[in-house]
């Protein structure tokens, strides 16, 4: 976990330990570094640190676009890493595929499964697809304000629609980490 005064040193330590690790270890490290209370209103410091962690991770693999939107006077950010298709010699332009995960969390929780797990996988996709490009152009998006009504993803979709940019597919990475079928184990959400 980061403290207010040591964000840069923890990031550098994380970078050095992530270099030669297995995928499982890298995912666990991401989860540890994202595991903050990060509701944008109730835990704004944790929200900021997680947002910055994601931005720094994505920046290793290319230029990070920041899509800014407003919610009740608050400035919010979606973070986007665009990855080109495998080949640049295409006769027709292929529509991009979006892969997204939200990084805000439910108030008073560290939101490990909802949705630090999705963000960890998104970061590893960024790593993988820059090593071996996909056949289609990709947009890897860390969405903000999902827990307040899918606001970040809705605003981003609206901006793409206004630009006339078609999509080939959208994949949402959500709650990928854990399930237990024991009756009564999960108490949230209700039922």
Selected residue with higher pLDDT from 178 and 72: 72
Q: Do residues 139 and 96 lie in contact, with contact meaning Cβ atoms separated by under 8 Å?
A: yes
Task: Report CA-CA distances (Å) from 127 to 27, 42, 122.
Answer: 12, 31, 9
Q: Find out whether the peptide bond into 189 is cis, omega within 30 degrees of 0.
A: yes
In the prediction, which pLDDT does 8 show?
Answer: 44
Could you give the angle at the alpha carbon of 53 between the alpha carbons of 20 and 41, nearest 5°?
150
In the prediction, which pLDDT does 90 show?
Answer: 52
Extents of the domains making up the chain:
4-172
Per residue in 136-155, pLDDT tens?
899 999 999 999 999 999 99
CATH 2.40.10.10 fits 4-172, yes or no: no
By DSSP bridging, strand 138-143 and strand 74-83 are antiparallel
């Amino acid at each position: 976990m980061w403290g207010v005064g040591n964000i840069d040193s923890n990031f550098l330590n994380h970078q050095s330990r992530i270099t030669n690790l297995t995928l499982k270890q890298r995912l666990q490290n991401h989860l540890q570094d994202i595991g903050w209370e990060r509701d944008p209103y109730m835990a704004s410091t944790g929200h900021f640190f997680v947002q910055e962690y994601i931005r720094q991770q994505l920046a290793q693999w290319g230029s990070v676009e920041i899509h800014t939107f407003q919610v009740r006077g608050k400035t919010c950010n979606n973070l986007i890493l665009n990855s080109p298709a495998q080949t640049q010699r295409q006769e027709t332009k292929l529509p991009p595929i979006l892969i997204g995960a939200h990084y805000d969390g439910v108030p008073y929780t560290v939101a490990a499964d909802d949705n630090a797990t999705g963000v960890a996988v998104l970061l590893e996709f960024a790593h993988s697809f820059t090593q071996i490009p996909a056949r289609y152009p990709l947009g890897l998006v860390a969405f903000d304000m999902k827990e307040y009504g899918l606001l970040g993803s809705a605003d981003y979709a609206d901006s793409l629609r206004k630009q006339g940019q078609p999509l080939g597919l959208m994949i949402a990475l959500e709650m990928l980490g854990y399930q237990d079928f024991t009756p009564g184990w999960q108490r949230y959400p209700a039922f």
